[in-house]
């Protein structure tokens, strides 16, 4: 195999590491990249390098940030007594659009034993550490309303109920249908669901 084809294969493999990219799409991306004018290729690489240098994970909530603590966690104007727990970083934007003004905790996924994702593989302990501080009055479990999301919420609910009896636990089920994924729910519906949140049972 010539050096170029070896390089092409590695490029495909590199694109394939992105979770939403299929092998076929990875090949297309590799081909697009090669066809770009040298200047554009260079620019793209510079952007990637720049982004890589500024991606950090907030040590409090697990959100992406360019600082040790993200803007939301360090914002004194927000209500620190309410934490909204979501599965993924992208869910934060949906809840923000719905006008939520508390704090967040991002799990980084959902419990999925068949794919070897157990509670200890998610940012769940970090949530309990925050509750140990005693300043949090309510936790909203805004995981997706599908089987894995509900099981994840159930696990967290059980642990909080057992360890932090004073913390109220709610979920934005009102108006959301079964199977709803937070990222796809429109801001108005999500706002109503958050306003009309019920206690998790």
The nearer residue to Zn ion, 58 or 122, going by C-beta atoms, is: 58
Binding mask 161-200 for Zn ion (x = CB under 5 A): ----------------------------------------
**Alpha-carbon separation of residue 197 from 10, 24, 26 (angstroms):** 48, 43, 42
Whether the CA torsion 70, 75, 78, 81 is positive or negative: it is positive
- Cα 127 to chain center, whole Å? 14
Our finding on whether 63 is near Zn ion (CB under 5 A) is yes
Cβ partners under 8 Å of residue 132, min gap 6: 164
Binding window for Zn ion (CB under 5 A); candidates: 49-57, 62-70, 77-85, 153-161: 62-70
The nearer residue to Zn ion, 63 or 94, going by C-beta atoms, is: 63
- Binding residues with Zn ion: total (CB under 5 A): 6
Our finding on whether 61 is near Zn ion (CB under 5 A) is yes
Our finding on whether 136 is near Zn ion (CB under 5 A) is no
Our finding on whether 73 is near Zn ion (CB under 5 A) is yes
- Cα 86 to chain center, whole Å? 6
Our finding on whether 70 is near Zn ion (CB under 5 A) is yes
Our finding on whether 84 is near Zn ion (CB under 5 A) is no
The secondary structure of 133-172 as a DSSP string is TS---EEEE---SSHHHHHHHHHHHHHHHHH-TTSEEEE-
The nearer residue to Zn ion, 28 or 78, going by C-beta atoms, is: 78
Our finding on whether 60 is near Zn ion (CB under 5 A) is yes
3-class secondary structure, 100: coil
Per-residue b or e along 77-97, where b marks 16 or more CB atoms closer than 10 Å to that residue's CB: ebeeebbbbbbbbebbebbee
Our finding on whether 58 is near Zn ion (CB under 5 A) is yes
Residue ranges in contact with Zn ion by CB under 5 A: 58, 60-61, 63, 70, 73
């Amino acid at each position: 195999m010539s050096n170029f084809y070896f390089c092409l294969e590695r490029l495909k493999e590199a694109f394939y590491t992105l979770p939403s990219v299929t092998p076929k799409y990875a090949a297309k991306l590799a081909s697009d990249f090669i066809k770009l004018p040298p200047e554009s290729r260079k620019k793209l690489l510079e952007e990637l390098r720049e982004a890589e240098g500024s991606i950090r994970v907030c040590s409090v909530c697990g959100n992406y940030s360019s600082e040790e603590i993200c803007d939301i966690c360090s914002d004194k104007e927000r209500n620190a007594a309410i934490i909204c727990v979501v599965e993924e970083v992208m869910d934060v934007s949906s809840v923000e659009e719905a006008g939520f003004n508390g704090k967040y905790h991002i799990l980084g996924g959902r419990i999925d034993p068949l794919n070897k994702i157990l509670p200890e593989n998610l940012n769940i302990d970090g949530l309990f550490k925050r509750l140990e501080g005693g300043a949090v009055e309510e936790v909203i479990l805004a995981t997706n309303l599908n089987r894995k999301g509900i099981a994840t919420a159930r696990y967290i609910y059980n642990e909080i109920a057992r360890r932090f009896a004073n913390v109220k636990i709610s979920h934005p089920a009102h108006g959301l249908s079964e199977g709803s994924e937070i990222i796809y729910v429109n801001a108005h519906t999500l706002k109503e669901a958050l306003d009309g949140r019920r206690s998790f049972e």
